[in-house]
Structure 1
């Protein structure tokens, strides 16, 4: 690669502007944003003018051919991700893929098949893992400082009004992949998995209760983990008082995270169990060394470091796939009424290919 990484942005909507551009600007000492692409010529021109980006394209293939970027940020609707990420990887560019990463496990495996040992790799934007509060909690867990995890709650209680779904690709399996389970709660669930590890069993329900959508507008699930812990999960777009909430009950403490779209150290609360009375120990729980908010800006340096070393970046490969597996399992359990284990989600399963699993009443209506 040369002295600076040549980066490009695909899709110039809101998430590119408020998430990816600030992250790239924060790394200006090692990244140049050389081009942007959007199917709308005026939109990409306006975006590039505001961001002072020299290259403006309406074709991804033209951008890849002429600019030969080292890194591509994909910010398009989910239905385009598998094809675009695969094309970028085939062209030798590393990829930062906005969530949800794609529409199915089959598409995710297609993306992985385009990766090469030593890079390029595709990493998914799951920025909540990278806030200092989350990393501090993860370190405490790994060190056994909080005891053994037992019970968890994972709540994404958000509100999206009817007009939100007037955007043609929203609320449809073929373009968004799923409802709040796939497109909204996936952030909280990914952080839960980053902290609790491998899941083994899911039992779930889903509903289409109020919004005019083809997908669900709410889901609930019970999840069992390999370490024995159990969690309840709620994903909702029907909740007027919005909140993102994670709670972990361990043998020595309860740890809570309350926020909406991003967390800082102040978003975390540690409550010691009655038998824990060491004040120095408790104070160490509550005092991370740094205060880094969860954001694209927090995640991007880890990808750039991996590029420099030619190694797989965080939240790619197995790490990212496990989160999509959990999403798939919630749909499969909700639509079949049966518990789901990870080894059931293979190519012979219709849910591996489409998250509605061709279920009557959910698919194609």
Structure 2
């Protein structure tokens, strides 16, 4: 039985708690820590946990904690992960992995030094549509992928950035490119690998109480010549989100849709119904994911601790995602084409470098400690997890 602690009692902590409660024979939550101890107590009461509320996480460093979920703002992730791994705990850390590549590298070094498990949350890999899409792409029936389109479309009101840590390069580390599109960018890299070049633009068109962008558009070039585009936004009404992969034989996407074409004698398209059916049959025959979302990732981490199996999402994977996001910010802020991989000499490698060099659109005008509610009004579930 593994002892688990939750660090941070904000909105996302509920997903972690619900995930752990799916495996009562394997783990138990023994503590929840938050700067506001009453928030930790509320979470314990909400879920009926036999756990204690802690105001200072350092009280837990000397205790028998096997696994920690870090659910705090991004700028705190590196120090917390390092301290808990050094204290002997395995770590699950919420996305994004950290606020800078330098912090990611510190976390990875701590993991190697302590030989503890470090997993960065990318819960959408554990959704059935995403797992199926990955298998379809790996099957090769579509042919060579020539283009990928990522639409990370969200909508947030002006007051969203009133929360004290949001909307600043120092605390949040960025806007929707970092904190919303991270889901889609992780999936893109999982399926395509890292691009070699990035050209990006960003703006703030609707949130004059935030330093950071509220929309960015990035063009990507991959080593094999394929191209991609990533739009990250919190100004899109309707919040449609999708990943579209165009192969030379067919097109597939999540949410799932398949189209395939043959050429007529004059070069115009006609449906390739046979290939569409083959791809549809392959998709339909693939198994459902047993545990979806955060529960799926928690199951993977628990299994890794118990058996030594491989993590699906480790520190290197989390770093790769942040590297592309950092490249988008570097290109959008400087107007330059950015080549990957980024090295430690890049002026966007550190959090201080990002704060000094990233475009500041506005100054933060309002700062509140907490909102009365952090739940969505519509209660919708979606293929892509709520950021």
**Distance 1:216-1:7 versus aligned 2 partners, 3 A rule:** same
CA distance in 2: counterparts of 1:362 and 1:74, whole angstroms:
28
Q: In the alignment, which of 7, 30, 33 is matched to residue 34 of structure 1?
A: 30
Residue in 2 aligned with 1:97? 93
Deviation at 1:364, TM superposition (A): 9.9
Contact 1:332 1:357 in 2 (8 A): no
Q: For the aligned residues, what is the CA RMSD? A: 2.1
Residue in 2 aligned with 1:273? 261
CA distance in 2: counterparts of 1:360 and 1:83, whole angstroms:
23
Return 5+ residue gaps in structure 1 as ranges. Answer: 258-266
CA distance in 2: counterparts of 1:338 and 1:176, whole angstroms:
24
Per-residue CA deviation, residues 99-149 of structure 1 (Å, 9 max, x unaligned), is 111110011111111113683122111111121222222222223222111
Residue in 1 aligned with 2:108? 112
Residue in 2 aligned with 1:59? 56
Per-residue CA deviation, residues 50-75 of structure 1 (Å, 9 max, x unaligned), is 22132221121111213x21110011
**Distance 1:159-1:364 versus aligned 2 partners, 3 A rule:** closer
CA distance in 2: counterparts of 1:289 and 1:282, whole angstroms:
11
Contact 1:124 1:320 in 2 (8 A): yes
CA distance in 2: counterparts of 1:89 and 1:363, whole angstroms:
37
Aligned counterparts, 1:318-329, within 5 A: 318-329=316-327
Secondary structure of 1:240's aligned partner: coil
Aligned residues: 350
Deviation at 1:22, TM superposition (A): 1.4
Residue in 2 aligned with 1:260? none
CA distance in 2: counterparts of 1:175 and 1:304, whole angstroms:
30
Per-residue CA deviation, residues 310-355 of structure 1 (Å, 9 max, x unaligned), is 3552221322211111000000111111111113x22211200137
Deviation at 1:303, TM superposition (A): 1.4
Contact 1:119 1:307 in 2 (8 A): no
Residue in 1 aligned with 2:21? 25
Secondary structure of 1:326's aligned partner: helix
CA distance in 2: counterparts of 1:310 and 1:119, whole angstroms:
12
Contact 2:70 2:92 in 1 (8 A): yes
Return 5+ residue gaps in structure 2 as ranges. Answer: 263-271, 364-387
Contact 1:121 1:312 in 2 (8 A): no
Q: Is 1:348 aligned with 2:345?
A: yes
Deviation at 1:289, TM superposition (A): 2.9
CA distance in 2: counterparts of 1:278 and 1:270, whole angstroms:
9
Deviation at 1:252, TM superposition (A): 2.1
**TM-score, normalization by structure 1:** 0.90
**TM-score, normalization by structure 2:** 0.85
Aligned counterparts, 1:327-342, within 5 A: 327-342=325-340
Q: Is 1:249 aligned with 2:260?
A: no
Residue in 2 aligned with 1:216? 213
Which structure has the higher relative contact order (CA within 8 Å, separation 6+)?
2
Contact 2:108 2:316 in 1 (8 A): no
Contact 1:201 1:224 in 2 (8 A): yes
